[in-house]
Chains A and B, each alone.
Chain A
Amino acid sequence: MVPRPELRALAGGGPAKVTIEDAGFFYGRFRALRDVNLEVPEKRVTALIGPSGCGKSTLLRMLNRMYDLVPGGRAEGRVLIDGEDVLRTTRLLELRQRVGMVFQRPSPFPMSIRDNVVFAPRLLGWKRPRIEAAVRESLEGAALWDEVKDRLDEPATGLSGGQQQRLSIARCLAVQPEVILMDEPCSALDPIATLKIEDLIHRLARDYTIVIVTHNMQQAARVADYTAFMLMNAEDRCGELVEVGPTVELFNRPRDRRTEDYITGRFG
């Protein structure tokens, strides 16, 4: 099946880093996602928006195979990262090193700030000097270094919510990923912490390909270069990709009626 051309993000985009072809997903017998075709441009921010339950998280979790944790979960189609099919790879450690993920709730591990940051490098068996260097680099990358440099050996649970979320980002930066997935990374944070994360996302987009799920259309408008709108089919509750394009275009001149309804708030 040829991917529908209108569902591709093109104009001005660099080369595609992630190519999703005819992707679908099942939770047991329930089909949660169907016929998703999407190209995620390299070193840009792509937002997934849509009403609750339309499958945004499901789609995001296909990109790093998080759905492996769900009993009865099954993916179809292809998800190519630099041409390699993620859905069929057996090298999960390598995949998850290349594709990092930040969740809705900050989840500091019960260990020191330093040990949190070097969690993944240790899994990869890096040598000590390289691990030491990664601590500072990733904390700087996550705009957290100045706030924690004097308390690296204190428990990470002592940080504020916003700091914990930036620690989660530092934790995935530590292994120098190529793609970073974020599932509503700000929805548990206050407005100021949210602004800090949004700033950070802007800066990270220089070096990383970012896919962010958000409930908040203003946030999508603020941080994303491209936006994809998803919707749940009313008949079988299955999620579909409706429209994708440069954020400015999608919000100002939506091509699909359903997109327009959603962004103008006419949708429930």
Chain B
Amino acid sequence: MVRADRFRILTGGTGLLAPLALLLIVTVLVQQAWPAIVHFGPGFLTGRVWNPVSLNFAALPYIYGTVASASIALVIAIPVGIGVALFLAEPGQAGLRGAIGIAVELLAAIPSVVYGLWALFVMGPFVFKALETPLNNRFGSFPLFSGTARPTSLFTAGLILAVMVLPTLASISREVIRAVPGGLREASVALGATWWETTWRVILPAARAGIFGAVVLALGRALGETIAVTMTIGNRAQISPALFEPAYTLAAVIANEFTEATAPLHTAALVELGVVLIGVTLTVNLSAQLLLRASADARP
């Protein structure tokens, strides 16, 4: 009995560590950010000006850039990742699938600064020439493609983020899809369904919760990614629907300005951006969970 109790105390204690650490971090951050919090009030979240010279600070363009670049990443990475996962989860052709599976997992081992370099020198210029410029020229009146296209843009950052979260999405989804009982596939095929119908109507619904978990993890990574985004997004604080224009994210501005910030209010404002970033990540995560629960209730 004593043993069991000790065990419970031990596991309970370690289980508490994670929330405790989060609480501690947030507390310290809030303390550091306090001067800015007091000075700017809630206007910090809604204002658009960020001026270190006049010591005027507000976060909205960065929040926008963070959420927008992560969203672009997911819009691209979710279908591709699930497609790759479906391919990898199929039986047979172990050689080819094995090679592709390993390649996808190796993508996760590349440091983000290398992704940043590659995006800056190879992918960005290529996308600029092959995609951004033609779309910008032809459909420039459409808000998404408007403005002056640049090799470093919201879209470039979103695209490189998509590549970076792809391994997470694909490998977790593959495991989840593999874990769907083979009997479901057989039963569906025996009822006359094609591979597509089976995948779409049976396999993916059965794997939905797990794939959703993978998406949430990927989203977390995309929201917080710093160096690759800083190198590719163009670092201009603006709120614009134009995909091919520069933007700026919370993580990027903190990384760029922290070492140069001399005024205490500037430093405090940067720390407050960190608090906001944690807030954005938690909010997105929680609403994702709620969404999943709601859809599970609505569609059994």
What is the interface of chain A, defined by CB distance below 8 A to chain B? Answer: 64, 66, 68-69, 71, 92-97, 100-101, 103, 105, 107, 109-112, 119-120, 123-124, 153-155, 168, 171-172, 175
- Return the contact of A110 from the options B183, B191, B192, B206 (Cβ within 8 A): B206
Interface 9-mer from B79-87, B105-113, B197-205: B197-205
How many chain B residues touch A (CB < 8 A): the figure is 24
Please, which residues of chain B bring their CB within 8 A of the CB of A172? Answer: 190-191
- Nearest first, the 7 closest Cβ-Cβ pairs linking A and B are A155-B300, A96-B192, A107-B183, A71-B92, A101-B190, A120-B191, A107-B187
Please, which residues of chain B bring their CB within 8 A of the CB of A109? Answer: 184, 187-188, 201-202, 205-206
A96 to B185, CA, bound (A): 14
B142 to chain A, nearest CB (A): 37
Please, which residues of chain B bring their CB within 8 A of the CB of A155? Answer: 300
A1 to B189, CA, bound (A): 33
A109 to B135, CA, bound (A): 43
What is the interface of chain B, defined by CB distance below 8 A to chain A? Answer: 91-93, 181, 183-194, 197, 201-202, 205-206, 208, 299-300
A175 to B191, CA, bound (A): 9
A66 to B187, CA, bound (A): 10
A124 to B93, CA, bound (A): 32
* A107 x B181 contact (CB < 8 A): yes
**Contacts A103-B183, A110-B206 given: A154-B300 contact, CB under 8 Å?**
yes
* B300 x A123 contact (CB < 8 A): no
Most B Cβ at <10 Å: residue of A69, A96, A155: A69
Please, which residues of chain B bring their CB within 8 A of the CB of A154? Answer: 300
**Contacts A107-B181, A123-B197 given: A168-B187 contact, CB under 8 Å?**
yes
Query: Taking CB as reference atom, which chain B residue is nearest A72?
Result: B92
A244 to chain B, nearest CB (A): 24
A45 to B181, CA, bound (A): 29
* A96 x B190 contact (CB < 8 A): yes
- Return the contact of A111 from the options B92, B186, B205 (Cβ within 8 A): B205
Write 21 A-B pairs (CB below 8 A) sorted by A numbering.
A66-B186, A71-B93, A93-B192, A93-B194, A96-B190, A97-B192, A103-B190, A105-B181, A107-B186, A109-B184, A109-B188, A109-B201, A109-B206, A110-B184, A110-B300, A119-B191, A119-B201, A123-B197, A124-B192, A171-B187, A171-B191
A111 to B202, CA, bound (A): 9
**Contacts A92-B192, A119-B201 given: A103-B187 contact, CB under 8 Å?**
yes
A97 to B188, CA, bound (A): 12
**Contacts A71-B91, A119-B201 given: A105-B192 contact, CB under 8 Å?**
no
Query: Taking CB as reference atom, which chain A residue is nearest B207?
Result: A110
A218 to B93, CA, bound (A): 42
B300 to chain A, nearest CB (A): 4
Please, which residues of chain A bring their CB within 8 A of the CB of B300? Answer: 110-112, 153-155
Please, which residues of chain B bring their CB within 8 A of the CB of A95? Answer: 192
